[in-house]
Structure 1
Amino acid sequence: MTTAARYIPSSTDIARLAKSGARHKYDYGHAVIVSGPPGQGGAARLAARGALRVGAGLVSVLCGADSVAEHAARLDAIMVKPFAGGEDIGRQLAGLNPSALCIGPNLGLTARAGDLLDATLSLPHPVCLDADAITLIAEREAPYAGPFPAQTIMTPHAGELRRLIPHRFDTTTNRETLARMAAERWGCVILFKGVETIIAHPDGRCLTVASTAFAHAAWLATAGSGDVLAGIITGLLARGCDAMEAGALGATLHLLCAAECGPGLIAEDLPEALPAVLRHLLSEPDDGPAPR
């Protein structure tokens, strides 16, 4: 087993973040964020802003009819799409023509949340599974049996990773090994969040993303920052990155946004920092910088 390589975005990786005047919004993908219940939609909105700021051509939030007003009052460039009760949710999702989906941020652990998750996973599109989606997959009475859609990525923190591999999780085991175990168990890319983020593929590939300044990662220890990361990854999936690339590049951008914001950042600051980060990266003549 090879040791994980530190990820530093190449000029090719960075070029994927650019946009061409010869193309239009539909060329950059449609990211769909599945929202949780009324009053719990902030996480989905944070993810949606991350997806939009990283360059997805269109971003929609799918929510219950009882949450439309809440989202519409807070989102302008992002479309709000209600799903109709009693109709096939999978068909409604497919009708949005998503390029990639994100489900999990404040989704809840209810039967309705489980139905939304099942509908999302019934589609062949790339998907980012975060937060409550991970818990539902691991702990429902009838756990998800798979296989996942191609280009699926899960983004657990340590507590969620423990749920994914409960019989193999040991705090004395190094983080890289734990991420590899989870990737092998679930057959998808695992992004194990932390001061050093590990991105593991079921085929054995493994990358790390870490800042040379510990404080940058520490500033991300704030409510909602993981929701923004899930949105950034989903936006990159919508733009055509594979799950491994979207995870590594997304985690790098997330760290660079933290460095751009500095102490006192809150999650809402992270999407707003992306334009400056992207401007800097796209002006680099050679391979881009590692997280600062």
Structure 2
Amino acid sequence: MALGRFSDENLALTATLGGGVWSPVLPLANLKDQSRFISAPARQMFPNDPTKARIEAVLERDRTINLVAVMFHTLGLTAEYRLTVAGPGGTLAAPLHTGDWTPVHGRMFPSVNLPWEEPNWWLGSGRPEDLVLYPRHLWIVLRPGLKVSAVRIEFRDPEAAWFDIGGLWIASAWSPTFNFDHGRELGLDARSLADETPSGRVIHEERVGRRRLTVSWSMLEASEALKLFDAGARCGTKNPVLLLPDVDDPVALIREAFPATFEKPPAPRRGRKFETLVNATLKEIIA
């Protein structure tokens, strides 16, 4: 199990975005609007042309990053992406690193959970009906982190007429020396409404549920706890944060990693060295 990765600062918000050809009605600049991920995405009208279906983000200054997230996307089952980064003081024309074309959607189910006759038994990939269970987020993890000046993400989705991206997150995600405690809790808040008619018929108004993840760090150094306290001061209960509990477990990551807000700002309880406790509950952002 990898250490959980936490981020409360999105470097994409201060980056200069460009690259590709995007809808003039739903432009690339929408990726910086963290208040309307779903209703105001960036729309790509040339989904199978990587020269047009690309995002280039020039950072405000050279930064070490270890996570790039493409959030609330509508890319299909056969879609792929490729990540390119420019080194310190460099350009994307002469990149520091260019990755391989990689499927956007990885394993969603362990093969042992699937009947042998299912066509997705070997790869454990989701079906179209599985993709609608949760908002779609692409987590691109860099190990080790790289010091970069710019990032490019190219896409190709041969089966789509167009696709949307709701948000972009670039981060130097943080991990403490010791991970959060075993026993993290993943829950789902039902939001559907029910009303009963005089005759006794129950009428339902279906709404998407909201996930919540509760974790406890009980072996923090004081400075690590204060880092989480600062995150609460910075984000409050309004601005987004990210917590990826285990980047080595893609099956769980689909269900446990999502843009979220603090239910309440973290409140450290000070103890001896590596005995400071912080509890946090993260509520999913769904729109």
TM-score by length of structure 1 reads 0.28
The structure with more strand, counted as a fraction of residues: 2
